[in-house]
Amino acid sequence: MPIHSANPLGSDDASFEYGVCFCILRKRVRYWAETLVDLDSSETNFLGALVALRALCDQAPRSTKQHLVKGEIEEWKSRFDAWVDRCAKKIKKNKVDPEELKRLADAEFSVLHEAGVSKPRTLWLAGVKKDLASIEGGRI
C-alpha cells in the first residue's frame, strides 16, 4: 500500500499491523483478567499485558479509541483489585506493597478508561467470549 504520510503508521499496511498487535494484546488482557477470578498466587501476567496495551494505545489513540470499552476496563480493574486483596499476604512476601501495586495499576486503568468508549455490556461481552474461546482453542 502507498505511504500517505511520514508518520510511522502512515500507510495502510503499517496501520493494519498496528491493529493486529492491538487485537492480540487486548485478547491477552482479556485472558489474564479472566484468570484473576480464581488465581491464588502472587504472580500474574495481567499487568504486563495491561501495560503493553496501554503503551500501544498511547502511540495511536485515534486508532484504538473505538476498540476499548469503559465497562470492560472497569471489570478488569475490579478483578485486579479483588485479586490483590485476596493475595495481599502473598504479594507482601515478595516485598511489594499491595496498595502501591493497586495505585500504580490504577494509573494504567485510568489511561485506558479515558481512551475507551461507552457501549452496552451485551455488545462487548460477545467479543470477550470469542477471544477467550480462541485462546482455549490454542489460536493465541
Q: Which of 110, 122, 111, 6 is nearest to 57 (CA)?
A: 111
Q: Is 9 exposed, middle or buried (0-12, 13-18, 19+ CB in 10 A)?
A: middle
User: So where are the chain's domains?
Assistant: 12-132
- pTM (2 decimals)? 0.81
Structural contact between residues 132 and 34, judged by C-beta atoms closer than 8 angstroms:
yes
Residue 116 binned pLDDT confidence (cut-offs 50, 70, 90):
confident
Q: pLDDT by residue (tens digit) across 4-50? A: 667 666 676 777 777 788 888 999 999 999 999 999 998 889 999 99
DSSP, res 95: T
What is the pLDDT, as a whole number, of residue 1?
A: 52
Long-range contacts of 110-116 (CB under 8 A, 24+ apart): 111/54, 111/57, 111/58, 112/50, 112/53, 112/54, 112/57, 112/68, 112/73, 113/70, 113/73, 113/74, 115/57, 115/61, 115/64, 115/65, 115/68, 116/65, 116/68, 116/69, 116/70, 116/72, 116/73
